[in-house]
């Protein structure tokens, strides 16, 4: 939902909220340098932030780009972010980018075998592999990148990825927490 002055927007889907953290100037576009700076602010080193931003903006930018756009092809348009959804994911976002509670619950009920509501690193890998579609190499790589990054940022001291923490990546509130910033909903 764009405001008349093109200013801050109240994004409606969870996936829009997932990426809005990175849109620091709130123009509805996540530029390459915004992704890079945002990743730095949540703890990525310089080289890792640049590499990840290159991949993320290079892949998602063109998919979300409106026909008449004049910006860099590395610009990610939040209004079209659902076009960045790939295959071999967990299904916790639907095709529009809404959060799907039942699919999310399944991640932990099916694969969290050693500790309730948490995944070990190998259980996380089992979950990813079970979601793989045949020969979907791009989807496998995207999913691995997302979950490996999340695991690195959010695992506890025993190497467990908890359900409640994982929930907060879907609406982006995890990012505000890691950056020590207040999110749009005040948390
Ligand atoms: C360190 C930062 C980030 C982490 C840890 C992260 C993690 C995740 C995770 C765990 C998912 C869910 C995958 C699934 O349900 O299988 C996801 C989905 C997604 N993320 Fe991120 N993400 C990050 C940054 C970004 C950025 C900067 C963008 C773009 C500006 C982005 C765009 C997306 C998109 C489009 C999806 C939907 C993919 C799908 O489910 O098919 N993410 N991310």
- Least Cα distance to 61 among 93, 35, 90, 41 occurs for 35
Exposure string for 3-22, b = 16+ CB within 10 A, e = fewer: eeeeeebebebbbbbbbbbb
The encoded tokens of residue 105 equal 């619950």
Report the atom number in ligand 1 closest to the C-alpha of 86.
Answer: 41
- The pTM score is 0.94
Report the atom number in ligand 1 closest to the C-alpha of 19.
Answer: 30
Q: Does ligand 1 lie within 6 Å of residue 169's CB atom?
A: yes
Report the atom number in ligand 1 closest to the C-alpha of 103.
Answer: 15
In which band, very low, low, confident or very high, does the pLDDT at 8 lie, cut at 50, 70 and 90? low
Residues 151-174: tens digit of each pLDDT: 999 999 999 999 999 999 999 999
In which band, very low, low, confident or very high, does the pLDDT at 10 lie, cut at 50, 70 and 90? confident
Q: What is the largest CA-CA distance in the chain?
A: 51
Report the atom number in ligand 1 closest to the C-alpha of 92.
Answer: 15
Residues 31-73: tens digit of each pLDDT: 999 999 999 999 999 999 999 999 999 999 999 999 999 999 9
Task: Give 146 Cα–ligand 1 centroid separation in angstroms.
Answer: 6
Q: Does ligand 1 lie within 6 Å of residue 22's CB atom?
A: yes
pLDDT of residue 5: 46
CB 57 within 8 A of CB 31: yes
Ligand 1 test: best mutation among 11, 16, 18, 177, most atoms within 8 Å of CB? Answer: 18
In which band, very low, low, confident or very high, does the pLDDT at 1 lie, cut at 50, 70 and 90? very low
**94-98, Cβ contacts within 8 angstroms, sequence gap of 24 or more:** 96/13, 97/13, 97/14, 97/15, 97/16, 98/13, 98/14, 98/15
The encoded tokens of residue 178 equal 């890691």
């Amino acid at each position: 939902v764009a405001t008349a002055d093109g200013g801050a927007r109240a994004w409606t889907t969870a996936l829009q909220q997932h990426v809005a953290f990175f849109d620091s100037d709130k123009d509805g576009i996540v530029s390459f340098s915004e992704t890079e700076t945002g990743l730095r602010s949540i703890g990525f080193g310089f080289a890792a932030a640049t590499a990840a931003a290159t991949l993320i903006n290079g892949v998602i930018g063109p998919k979300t780009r409106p026909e008449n756009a004049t910006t860099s092809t590395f610009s990610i348009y939040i209004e079209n972010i659902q076009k960045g959804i790939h295959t071999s994911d967990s299904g916790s976002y639907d095709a529009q980018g809404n959060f799907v509670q039942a699919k999310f619950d399944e991640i932990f009920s099916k694969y969290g075998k050693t500790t309730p509501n948490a995944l070990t690193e190998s259980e996380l890998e089992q979950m990813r592999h079970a979601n793989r579609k045949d020969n979907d190499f791009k989807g496998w790589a995207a999913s691995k990148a997302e979950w490996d990054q999340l695991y690195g940022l959010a695992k506890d001291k025993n190497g467990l990825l908890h359900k409640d923490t994982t929930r907060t990546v879907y609406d982006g509130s995890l990012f505000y927490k890691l950056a020590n910033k207040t999110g749009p909903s005040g948390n």
